[in-house]
Amino acid sequence: MIYADYNGSAPLLPAVREYMKTRLESDLFANPNAIHTMGQRLTKGINRCREIISEIVGCHPDQLYFNSGSSEGVSHIIHSVLGSAPANKKVIITSPIEHAVVPAALDFYAKKQGLVIKHVEIDSEGRVKIASLEKLLEENKDKIALVSIMAANNETGVLQPYQEMSKLCQKYQVDFFSDTTQLIGKGDFNFAESGVDYAVCSGHKLGSLTGIGFIIAKEPTKLLPLVFGSTQEKGIRGGTMHYLGIETLAIAFKDFQENQHRLADLKKARLNFEAEIKKAFPNVAIIGEKAPRLAGTTLIGYPGIHGQAAQIELESQDIFVTTSAACSDNQPETSKVLKAMGVDDHIGRSVIRISLSYSHGQQEYSALAQGLKAAYTKLNKIQSY
Amino acid sequence: MIYADYNGSAPLLPAVREYMKTRLESDLFANPNAIHTMGQRLTKGINRCREIISEIVGCHPDQLYFNSGSSEGVSHIIHSVLGSAPANKKVIITSPIEHAVVPAALDFYAKKQGLVIKHVEIDSEGRVKIASLEKLLEENKDKIALVSIMAANNETGVLQPYQEMSKLCQKYQVDFFSDTTQLIGKGDFNFAESGVDYAVCSGHKLGSLTGIGFIIAKEPTKLLPLVFGSTQEKGIRGGTMHYLGIETLAIAFKDFQENQHRLADLKKARLNFEAEIKKAFPNVAIIGEKAPRLAGTTLIGYPGIHGQAAQIELESQDIFVTTSAACSDNQPETSKVLKAMGVDDHIGRSVIRISLSYSHGQQEYSALAQGLKAAYTKLNKIQSY
């Protein structure tokens, strides 16, 4: 089996499985907020995990707050920034290629508070046009409540110029939230150096237990609570801590740190794979081909062969890919991201997303090339549109 | 070791540990929202778990939505009901004995929307006075946005008359949310029969993995999203599902169902334990002694012996209890719950909470009696206040 849907979710890392096997034998289960030493030991463990992760993502431990994952993180940040925005800040700037949670949360608060949402332009390679952001910042000067633009796209893997966007937002003194869900654990990211005000992470994308993640905030005191509680996470996020998730997240981050150097080989193998497919099928399109992308992400389409047909054909070979993002509508049509890039329906309907992690390399891509060539050869005879 | 802090958090159930050992060997890890069969298999599993749990708690599967736990559930329900309340509904009715998350969330939205919070009275045994609720409902007729009163108290274990409260709320056509966190998995609860409009659950209180829980809503379409996302949980709760948590929660519920009959023995053993302590130390007070309580909860105090001193002394005997709720301030003073009951500081500062589960019985209570008698005998010589 080749599981090639790491942008959707990563399987539990081997290191996490080993940890959990031992952890299940332990007696240390309690409420970390309890007064007794069992609770206190768990709290110490949580804070040690916070330190480990903070060091790897380049933030201060006081800037990192655990939660249930990125959807909560995105909702929390947008709730906080828009919920406390001064009355004269009526404009939100975002992009048309965000993960579904971002427009859903922005629309809700925009409608509630009478805010206007404006979108930056995307170039044909899937990157935010910096000039477009600058124009919107200038045109709406002193009226902007929030800029919310992602750091790496979930469908295409295209890396966004978040550092440049940060600098522009700082120049215009506007809060900048960058959805880093797909970047953290898959590429270089350092919160302090990034210049962004808010970032988010979902542990399951890195191979920890499910149901865990965090937000990072440059100035956490600006956050309003979304999930209320008592003193947990300094009042910023209530609820009994998901300490098993947190412990495995620290393990996943250590695993990432130890293996991050392998991303270069992953990228090389991915580029070889893409070249091999293109050589065999010159009609094939690689989305965002000329843009910098996540090391292990390819969004590839063979016009005339429906993405879903290719996905099913690959699955019959025990290879698991998706057609677009898991959280898109899974509709058999061109995704919003591709539409924003100006991708033609003929290509848009044909794409499949292949996403691997730093634990993979040439071996997996060779098998993927063989599988995809067989699928395309077979399906080419019965083109579906 | 005797871990007697089940109202704080339960250790992983043996059945959950066994399940996880096997689960860790599996290859079935993916995004349940993915188009491929791995995702679809996980979604089927989630829905099977939803059916199992719904049957046990007496709701329709379409009324149950998974989330990260009760703090999120409480926040979500209050956000939804108050966020969509008509402008003329300006009154919230609650109690002074709620878990910290309830007043925190109510205060936030009350302040934001200019609502008034009114409190029902509590009798000396820790029960809501039904007449007090009826009076508030009558006095504020047609102006009430929400009634939020718990089903079982976390500190005292005292069961609240939630069925009677439901009937009153129905009579006055007011939404009734009852925080069922301490009741579900520890006592009889059937959503359909309860008459409440909203209920919540935290899996870690039942011995599942941490970071999982759910809300039940009589009419889910009334819920606004708090954590946004795409199509997960019908748009009511976004975010990649914490499927490992959900699977273990179904196991915990089945374990509860199979062992619920043991609660009668637990209660009997608890009453013997309380009688034994009172016989040895006639000054001892059992909080809510005359009220119906959770089978395994005792809040007990020896005036003059500080609760924290007793807790530490017991811990030296490898017995883990708390002074009040884990989520209270852990301050060495009378808790808000006890103040609302009119409990004197002399008793209030002395209490410890002993909470066990259906897996326990006479054996644990005998050991607890022995331990507590030794602690009180020792500490009585050096009374701390």
Residues A331-376 pLDDT 10s = 668 999 999 999 999 999 999 999 999 999 999 999 999 999 999 9
In a domain, B307, yes or no: yes
| Bridge partners, A159 (sequence order) | A152
Q: Are residues A253 and A288 in the same domain?
A: no
Pairing of strands A64-67, B144-148: unpaired
B82 touches chain A (CB under 8 A): no
Q: Are residues B355 and B218 in the same domain?
A: no
- For A6-21, what is the mean pLDDT? 98
Q: Are residues A180 and A51 in the same domain?
A: yes
Average pLDDT, chain A: 96
Which residues in chain B are contacts of A38 at CB distance < 8 A?
3, 5, 320
Partner-chain contact B24 A20, CB within 8 Å: yes
- CB within 8 Å of A22: residues ≥ 6 apart: none
Partner-chain contact A320 B211, CB within 8 Å: no
CATH number of the domain encompassing residue B362? 3.90.1150.10
Residue B331's pLDDT is 61
Partner-chain contact B230 A29, CB within 8 Å: no
Q: Are residues B330 and B183 in the same domain?
A: no
In a domain, B385, yes or no: no
Partner-chain contact A326 B74, CB within 8 Å: no
Average pLDDT, chain B: 96
The residue assigned the tokens 């599996």 is: B26
Give the separation between CA B268 and CA B272, rounded to whole angstroms: 6
Question: Using CB atoms and an 8 Å cut-off, which of residues 130-149 of chain A contact chain B?
Answer: none
B81 touches chain A (CB under 8 A): no
Q: Residue B118 pLDDT more than 90?
A: yes
Q: Pick from A7, A385, A378, A380: which is nearest to A184 by CA? A: A7
In a domain, B346, yes or no: yes
**Residue A205: DSSP 8-state:** G
Residue A159's pLDDT is 98
Partner-chain contact B245 A210, CB within 8 Å: yes
Q: Residue A185 pLDDT more than 90?
A: yes
Residues B348-359 pLDDT 10s = 999 999 999 999
Q: Are residues A157 and A286 in the same domain?
A: no
Q: Residue B206 pLDDT more than 90?
A: yes
Please provide the DSSP assignment of B109-146 as one string. HHHHHT-EEEE--B-TTS-B-HHHHHHHHHHTTT-EEE
The model's confidence at residue B373, banded by pLDDT at 50, 70 and 90, is: very high
Residue B330's pLDDT is 55
The residue assigned the tokens 């011995």 is: B207
Which residues in chain A are contacts of B3 at CB distance < 8 A?
27, 30, 38
Instruction: Name the domain boundary from B258, B284, B307.
Output: B258
Q: Are residues B306 and B354 in the same domain?
A: yes
Q: Residue B303's CB: how many other CB atoms inside 10 A?
A: 18
The model's confidence at residue A324, banded by pLDDT at 50, 70 and 90, is: confident
Instruction: Name the domain boundary from A258, A290, A309.
Output: A258
Residue A385's pLDDT is 73
Residues B283-336 pLDDT 10s = 999 999 999 999 999 999 999 999 999 999 999 999 999 997 555 545 668 999
Closest CA of chain A from B95, distance in Å? 16
Closest CA of chain A from B171, distance in Å? 30
In a domain, A385, yes or no: no
Q: Which of A9, A39, A105 is nearest residue B326 as measured by Cβ atoms?
A: A39
Domain that holds residue A300: 2-10+260-380
Q: Are residues B43 and B152 in the same domain?
A: yes
The model's confidence at residue A200, banded by pLDDT at 50, 70 and 90, is: very high
Partner-chain contact A72 B31, CB within 8 Å: no
Please provide the DSSP assignment of A127-186 as one string. -B-HHHHHHHHHHTTT-EEEEE--SB-TTT-BBP-HHHHHHHHHHTT--EE---TTTBTT
Partner-chain contact A69 B228, CB within 8 Å: no
Q: Are residues B27 and B97 in the same domain?
A: yes
3-state SS, residue B356: coil
What's the predicted TM-score (pTM) here?
0.97
Which residues in chain A are contacts of B326 at CB distance < 8 A?
31, 33-35, 39, 240
Q: Residue A131 pLDDT more than 80?
A: yes
- For A174-196, what is the mean pLDDT? 98
Residue A254 has which token pair? 């250590």
Q: What are phi and psi of A187, to 5 degrees?
A: -160, -175
Give the separation between CA A90 and CA A147, rounded to whole angstroms: 12
**Residue A309: DSSP 8-state:** H
Residue B326's pLDDT is 53
Closest residue of chain B to A228, computed from CA coordinates: B101
The model's confidence at residue A325, banded by pLDDT at 50, 70 and 90, is: low
A158, A125 contact by CB (below 8 A) = yes
Q: Are residues A230 and A340 in the same domain?
A: no
Q: Which of A34, A238, A308 is nearest residue B104 as measured by Cβ atoms?
A: A238
In a domain, B83, yes or no: yes
In a domain, B46, yes or no: yes
A31 touches chain B (CB under 8 A): yes
Q: Residue A330 pLDDT more than 60?
A: no
Which residues in chain A are contacts of B17 at CB distance < 8 A?
24
Closest CA of chain A from B291, distance in Å? 26
Q: Are residues A325 and A209 in the same domain?
A: no
Residues A233-268 pLDDT 10s = 999 999 999 999 999 999 999 999 999 999 999 999
Count of domains observed in chain A = 2
Q: Are residues B93 and B193 in the same domain?
A: yes
Partner-chain contact A3 B231, CB within 8 Å: no
Residues B132-166 pLDDT 10s = 999 999 999 999 999 999 999 999 999 999 999 99
Q: Residue A26's CB: how many other CB atoms inside 10 A?
A: 10
Partner-chain contact A8 B33, CB within 8 Å: yes
In a domain, A193, yes or no: yes
Q: Summarize chain B as % helix, strand, coil (round to 5).
A: 45, 15, 40
Which residues in chain B are contacts of A1 at CB distance < 8 A?
27
Residue B249's pLDDT is 98
Residue B90's pLDDT is 97
Residue A257 has which token pair? 């740190």
B94, B175 contact by CB (below 8 A) = no
Q: Which amino acid is at B95?
A: S
Q: Are residues B184 and B268 in the same domain?
A: no
Instruction: Name the domain boundary from B207, B233, B258.
Output: B258
3-state SS, residue B201: strand
Residue B332's pLDDT is 67
Q: Pick from A225, A172, A188: which is nearest to A56 by CA? A: A188
3-state SS, residue B34: coil
In a domain, B139, yes or no: yes
Closest CA of chain B from A126, distance in Å? 22
Which residues in chain A are contacts of B69 at CB distance < 8 A?
239-240
Q: Which of A10, A71, A323 is nearest residue B35 as measured by Cβ atoms?
A: A323
B351, B286 contact by CB (below 8 A) = no
Q: Residue B172 pLDDT more than 80?
A: yes
B42 touches chain A (CB under 8 A): no
- For A61-77, what is the mean pLDDT? 98
Q: Residue B223's CB: how many other CB atoms inside 10 A?
A: 23
CATH number of the domain encompassing residue B83? 3.40.640.10
What is the percent of chain A with per-residue pLDDT over 90, rounded to a whole number? 95
